[in-house]
A and B are shown apart, each in its own frame.
Chain A
Amino acid sequence: NAGVTQTPKFQVLKTGQSMTLQCAQDMNHNSMYWYRQDPGMGLRLIYYSASEGTTDKGEVPNGYNVSRLNKREFSLRLESAAPSQTSVYFCASSGLAGGQYFGPGTRLTVL
């Protein structure tokens, strides 16, 4: 099992550009999450999907959109990137046993 995978690992954007961060899990988990982590800070929840077909805002959703493509995949889109969105983005998933499993992260820099 690969667990939670994320692509790309690194990305540099110019202000105003758009991009989609991809996340996939192979653990048959119902719930998936997107977090951002700024240097020296804790994780902040951007969006989550409690089950296939549903998505909800977390604590910092502005400037982002998500798509739960199927049970395995949950993508995060930045429509018009801003320097304030420079961060490390983590995807996570969870199942009935509890606990969240995190991906390796995407390091995004917006110039």
Chain B
Amino acid sequence: TQLLEQSPQFLSIQEGENLTVYCNSSSVFSSLQWYRQEPGEGPVLLVTVVTGGEVKKLKRLTFQFGDARKDSSLHITAAQPGDTGLYLCAVEGSSYKLIFGSGTRLLVRP
């Protein structure tokens, strides 16, 4: 059983469309992170959310941490081809291990 379930697994959209990616769990977390990984590259930290209900914006990306700190969402407005990549939510487990979600692979078509 995956600790962090992400949906959808795959998403192919046209440039300019909006989308939302979800990260869900039955566990409560003190913080949650979102990363983007492009082929052949390491994951890049996008944001860390720590407070239930928190909303953070990074240009066209909006991140929200659920009130109960069990889930999170990533909304992209007016997606661009440069947004293409694998989006991963993650939490810190025991012994500093980073536990990644199952991932959402996004393709933005020009």
Contact = CB atoms under 8 A, between A and B. Distances in A.
B22 interface: no
B78 interface: no
Given A42-B100, A43-B100, A102 B50 contact: no
A90 interface: yes
B42 to A, nearest CB: 3
A98 B48 contact: yes
Interface string B54-91: 00000000000000000000000000000000000000
Given A48-B95, A56-B95, A102 B100 contact: no
B44 A102 contact: yes
Interface of A: 31, 33, 42-43, 45, 48, 50, 56, 58-59, 88, 90, 92, 94, 97-105
Interface of B: 31, 33, 40-45, 48, 50, 92, 95-98, 100, 103
21 contacts: A31-B96, A33-B98, A43-B43, A43-B98, A45-B97, A90-B43, A92-B42, A94-B96, A97-B48, A98-B33, A98-B92, A99-B45, A100-B33, A100-B45, A100-B98, A102-B42, A102-B43, A102-B45, A103-B42, A104-B41, A105-B42
